[in-house]
Structure 1
Amino acid sequence: MVSSDESLPQRLPPIDRALDRYPYCIVWTPIPVLTWIFPFIGHMGICMSNGVIRDFAGPYLVTEDNMAFGRPTRYLRLNPKNVDGGSSAWDEGVSKASVLYGTRMHNIFCDNCHSHVATALCNMHYENRTSWNMIILCFWMFVCGKYVNVCGFVKSWLPFLIFISIVVLMAVYF
């Protein structure tokens, strides 16, 4: 027999954009110059069950609630039901990844903030997978991520649109 608690949908804690609290989310923010040219590339972090953001910000540095390139502009809400062990397994997966990445050198091409998030998801066996990687996460966020607000959208896309406009104008007039 199924208990009444199991038959009810699990309520996720609310997102609080003003306080940058994104429980069970992957968060993203643009990296100046790099995102202006390649809008699908940015800085990524993963949040604890209480919404506290953890991100691999540089060599031997995992920050808490202080993303390396500013406040999140996008987020991707995940479901702790896709983790065996729920909230405690979620937090343990994020914590283990954070401890590990606190001992690692940052490499923008192959061991970076996306790798930190992928390791957290692998640690918790999110969706019964241990094959998360930075490429999957990059495109998952690009395609499925939501903007935190209109300013988040503008901060993400305006520099790219200005860059493209300059390139087009130079191509037309030179």
Structure 2
Amino acid sequence: MGIATSRGIIRDFAGPYFVSEDNMGFGWPTRYWLLDVLKVPGKAEAYDAAIDEASEVYKGRVHNLFCDNCHSHVALALNTMRYDGKTNWNMINLCFYMLVKGRSISWCGFFKQWLPTIIFAGLLLAFFQLS
């Protein structure tokens, strides 16, 4: 998960002490949630400043797959900018918002996102039907 500045530059906490720019850790995005800078006090300037601040913080952190990762980086940026008047963004509600408000980039992106899950669920169902 990454977050783009108002100029479209994607920032992604991609590894220990590393926040990438326009080069995401797991490839190009397949899904996006379009944020509205009008929901940020201070508009685009405050939006970009919050992303810069969160990126500087995460350039000094070790990446942890379960506790302190790219989702945490985005949550810190949203909390810093007080996006939509909230300061309680976290990995869980970001996951929910991406599921509900996120849109696939294309049909190809949709299949890249969901096909592995569908195949895995199908294999599980087949396995339990045979047991």
TM-score with structure 1 length normalisation? 0.73
Tell me the residue number matched to 2:5. Answer: 48
Partner amino acid, structure 2, of 1:77: L
> Greater share of helix residues, 1 or 2?
2
Q: How does 1:49-88 map to 2 (within 5 A)?
A: 49-88=6-45
Tell me the residue number matched to 2:82. Answer: 125
1:134 maps to 2:91 = yes
2-structure distance, mates of 1:167, 1:125: 42
Q: How does 1:18-167 map to 2 (within 5 A)?
A: 44-167=1-124
What is the number of residues matched between the two proteins? 131
2-structure distance, mates of 1:164, 1:79: 35
CA shift at 1:77, angstroms? 0.7
2-structure distance, mates of 1:108, 1:59: 10
1-structure distance, mates of 2:11, 2:37: 17
Tell me the residue number matched to 1:30. Answer: none
Structure 1 unaligned spans of 5+: 1-43
The structure with the largest alpha-carbon Rg is: 1
CA shift at 1:101, angstroms? 0.3
2-structure distance, mates of 1:167, 1:122: 38
Runs of 4+ in 1 over 2 A off after TM superposition: none
Structure 2 unaligned spans of 5+: none
CA shift at 1:166, angstroms? 1.2
Partner amino acid, structure 1, of 2:103: K
CA shift at 1:109, angstroms? 1.4
Q: Percent same amino acid among aligned pairs?
A: 53
User: Residues 55-103 of structure 1, C-alpha deviation per residue, up to 9 Å, x if partnerless?
Assistant: 1111111000011111100000111111111111110000000010000
Partner amino acid, structure 2, of 1:132: W
TM-score with structure 2 length normalisation? 0.96
Partner amino acid, structure 2, of 1:88: E
